[in-house]
């Protein structure tokens, strides 16, 4: 791998995604926009509610002292990954965010461009049921300047995530009923 894999990963991962979608014969739409990697800002550029975005986080899950797994958690853009739910799902001792280098290597993408797909056998894909239930699911397409939209149903069919409740409500939703969406 090159010393600065960002651009190499971006092109390879983007090409692999488009090939997968084209060979899967599903409808998708590409959206070009200003470069942006934060969920709330890119949702505004794309013109949709933050809840329709896929927020993708690489996690490190320690099953025991010697066994660590990596999980790509996909939750709605206005929600947070519930680390306690992930820990319980794996009966693990610990669940937390992966370090940036490991996340980039496993996701084959730089921060802000991580796909809700795993192209690495060492990265297990887990999606919240509210993600696969979206009629229109938006995410950066392994690039900061291009996004993709597909149905949650098609996403589940093609990506094949383990579907488990791993998202918790954002604090603003729990308190104010969701009048303001914020990514976390």
Is 179 among the domain residues? Answer: no
Domain containing 29 equals: 6-169
Give the CATH number of the domain where residue 11 resides: 3.90.960.10
Please give the pLDDT value at position 170.
Answer: 59
For residue range 168-184, list pLDDT tens digits in order.
975 554 444 433 333 33
Please give the pLDDT value at position 1.
Answer: 32
Average of per-residue pLDDT values in the chain: 89
Is 125 among the domain residues? Answer: yes
Which structure tokens are listed for 132?
């696969």
Q: Is residue 4 predicted with pLDDT exceeding 50?
A: no
For residue range 82-123, list pLDDT tens digits in order.
999 999 999 999 999 999 999 999 999 988 999 999 999 999
Please give the pLDDT value at position 115.
Answer: 96
Q: Is residue 71 predicted with pLDDT exceeding 90?
A: yes
Q: Total structural domains in the chain?
A: 1
Residue 139 pairs in a beta bridge with 148
Residue 169 pairs in a beta bridge with 79
Is 121 among the domain residues? Answer: yes
Is 177 among the domain residues? Answer: no
Is 180 among the domain residues? Answer: no
Is 178 among the domain residues? Answer: no
Q: Is residue 40 predicted with pLDDT exceeding 80?
A: yes
Please give the pLDDT value at position 131.
Answer: 97
Contact 33, 140 (CB under 8 A): no
Is 120 among the domain residues? Answer: yes
Is 55 among the domain residues? Answer: yes
Cβ neighbour number for residue 26 with a 10 Å cutoff: 15
Mean pLDDT throughout 128-134? 97
Contact 171, 78 (CB under 8 A): no
CA-based nearest residue to 58, from 9, 113, 6: 113
CA distances 122 to 23, 50, 158, Å, are: 24, 29, 18
């Amino acid at each position: 791998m090159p010393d600065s894999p960002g651009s190499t990963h971006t092109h390879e991962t983007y090409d692999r995604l488009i090939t997968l979608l084209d060979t899967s014969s599903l409808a998708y739409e590409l959206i070009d926009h200003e470069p942006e990697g934060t969920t709330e800002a890119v949702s505004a550029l794309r013109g949709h509610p933050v809840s329709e975005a896929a927020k993708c986080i690489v996690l490190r899950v320690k099953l025991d002292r010697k066994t660590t797994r990596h999980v790509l958690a996909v939750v709605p853009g206005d929600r947070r990954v519930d680390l306690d739910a992930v820990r319980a799902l794996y009966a693990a001792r610990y669940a937390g965010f992966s370090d940036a280098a490991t996340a980039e290597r496993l996701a084959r993408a730089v921060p802000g461009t991580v796909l809700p797909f795993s192209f690495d056998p060492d990265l297990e894909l887990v999606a919240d049921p509210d993600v696969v239930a979206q009629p229109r699911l938006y995410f950066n397409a392994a690039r900061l300047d291009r996004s993709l939209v597909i149905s949650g149903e098609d996403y589940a069919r093609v990506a094949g995530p383990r579907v488990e409740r791993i998202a918790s409500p954002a604090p603003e939703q729990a308190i104010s009923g969701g009048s303001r969406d914020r990514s976390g």
